[in-house]
Amino acid sequence: MEGLKLEKSMTSYATNFGDTSVKNGKYARLTFHIDIKREGWRSYFNYFIGFFVAFFLCAMIFFVDPGNINARANLSLGSIFTAVGNKYVLDQKLPFTSLFTLYDAIQAATFCVIVLSILSFILIHDLLKDMGLKKARTINGLLAVIIVTLYLVYVGVWTFAAVVS
Handedness of CA 70, 75, 76, 80 (dihedral sign): positive
Out of 25-39, 114-128, 139-153, the most confident range is 139-153
* Same structural domain, 21 and 52: no
* Same structural domain, 89 and 124: yes
* Same structural domain, 123 and 59: yes
* Same structural domain, 151 and 114: yes
* Same structural domain, 97 and 121: yes
* Same structural domain, 89 and 111: yes
Q: Please tell me the total count of domains within the chain.
A: 2
Question: By C-alpha distance, which of 84, 88, 80, 45 is closest to 61?
Answer: 80
The CATH number that applies at residue 156 is 1.20.58.390
Can you give the pLDDT at residue 95?
87
What whole-number percentage of the chain has pLDDT above 90? 51
Can you give the pLDDT at residue 1?
62
* Same structural domain, 28 and 71: no
Q: Are 80 and 116 in contact (CB under 8 A)?
A: no
What domain range includes position 78?
41-164
* Same structural domain, 143 and 70: yes
For 21-64, the pLDDT digits (tens) are 777 777 788 898 888 776 778 888 999 999 999 999 999 999 99
